[in-house]
Amino acid sequence: MRVLHVSASMSPQWGGPVTVMAGLVPALARHGVRCEIVTTCGYRVGTDPLQIPGAPLHCFDTALPARVWTAWTRNLPGFLASRINRFDLVHVHELWHHAGYAACRAALAAGLPCVVTPHGALDLPRLKGKSIRKWLYLCTVQRPILRSVDAIHALVSSEKEDLSRLGIDTPVFLAPNGTVLSPPAELADTAKFLERYPRLAGRRVVLFLGRLHAIKGLDVLARSFAATAARFPDAALLVVGPDEDGTGRRAKAVLARAGVLDRVVFTGHLAGAGKQAAFACADLFVLPSYSEGFSMAALEALAAGLPVVLSEPCNFPEVAECGAGFVVPTADAAVTAAVGALLSDEHLRARMGRNGRALVEERYTWPTIAESFARLYRTLAQKEQG
């Protein structure tokens, strides 16, 4: 079976959807699903796209209209028209972008089944804060497409409920993201990392990893860490990720006013061994997001054996249920209390870290999740052929 995956970007800085495809596509190959990827490169979507072994990558440069319509590219529609019938199914990742729109239209015109994964982009609290332009796009373009495709992949049950509230009754396939579970011994050695960031040496490290965007709650963590630093003189904050909208700059200002900026390290984007080293030198992971689909960073932290503090909008109640961390409101005091409980109890951190890793091993590895996707793809393709 051949599946075409479509994404606005394959640049690692793009975040979750790229990490998802990097794990899902190789796992699908083990179930007999051969994948190719269509993406764009340039303005707003980044450069240096990630190459996934065994999955040919077709990358198109964005043009001037991409300043208004993300991932707008001149040559993609022609490519799709000439190549779409080589595939059995099209899987589009995220919404709003021109590449996804063109791929959905091409699949529908060719009579091919099409699956769309919004990756949390239809979260209603997040949508309420968006511009009138995005709401108009949703009503006039995105919603009709989502009603026409064969299935929508929802990461969590709340995403399924949001689709219903938006009047979209397309069949929903519910499956979480996954991750690669490496043995703890294979986590990167921290020596070089601490040599590069000596401010972290000998300290208990609180880790934030993700896009530095207003939606991620870094403002809450910055204010919370000011209180944490006063209680724990050896605590340090490690912030990993690209600054997308000035959130990092604003967090630095908060930390500077509190007099704790000298105990904080901002690394920018890290991947591969650098990211693994960040997990390895951390004592706990915090994501106080205001809105989230299903955080790949949180999943990776659990896989690395870290206890986590997540906000309720992260849609990960299993963390609290299995004793892998704390799920709290997106509020300064709640985050401060949870972080303080973990920093003050080494045995609690170790127990929660083990529980989190066991949770990932049981439910959230790519081989298991890819098997569900392969079944979905084949069911839709057989239905279309029938």
Q: Could you tell me the pTM of the whole model?
A: 0.81
Q: Could you please state the CATH topology (level 3) that the domain comprising 2-178+365-385 is classified under.
A: Rossmann fold (3.40.50)
Domain with CATH 3.40.50.2000 in the chain: 2-178+365-385, 184-363
Residue 39's pLDDT is what? 97
Query: In the chain, at which residue ranges do the beta strands (DSSP E only) sit?
Result: 2-9, 34-41, 57-61, 89-93, 114-117, 151-154, 172-174, 204-209, 235-240, 264-268, 284-287, 308-311, 325-328
b/e for 25-42, b at 16 or more Cβ within 10 A?
bbbbbebebebbbbbbbb
Q: Are strands 151-154 and 284-287 parallel, antiparallel or unpaired?
A: unpaired
DSSP H helix total and E strand total for the chain:
16, 13
| CATH of the domain spanning 184-363, picked from 3.40.50.2000, 3.10.20.30, 3.40.1800.10, 2.40.50.140 | 3.40.50.2000
d(CA 366, CA 377): 16
- Written as one letter, the residue type at 234 is D
Among 173, 167, 73, which residue's Cα sits nearest to residue 116?
A: 173
pLDDT tens series, the chain, 386 aa: 999 999 999 998 898 899 899 999 999 999 999 999 999 999 889 889 999 999 999 999 999 999 989 999 999 999 999 999 999 999 999 999 999 999 999 999 999 999 999 998 887 666 665 667 778 888 889 999 999 999 999 998 888 888 988 899 999 999 999 987 766 544 567 888 999 999 999 999 999 999 899 999 999 999 999 999 999 999 999 999 999 889 999 999 999 999 999 999 999 999 888 999 999 999 999 999 998 878 889 999 999 999 999 999 998 999 999 999 999 999 999 999 999 999 999 999 999 999 999 999 999 999 989 999 999 999 999 987 65
CB 308 within 8 A of CB 335: no
SS3 category, 7? strand
The partner residues of 308 in beta bridges, in order of sequence, read 285, 325
pLDDT score at 185? 44
Q: Report how far residue 146's alpha carbon sits from residue 168's, in angstroms, rounded to the nearest whole number.
A: 7
Q: Would strands 89-93 and 325-328 be described as parallel, antiparallel, or unpaired?
A: unpaired
What is the C-alpha to C-alpha distance for residues 299 and 291, in angstroms, rounded to an integer?
A: 16
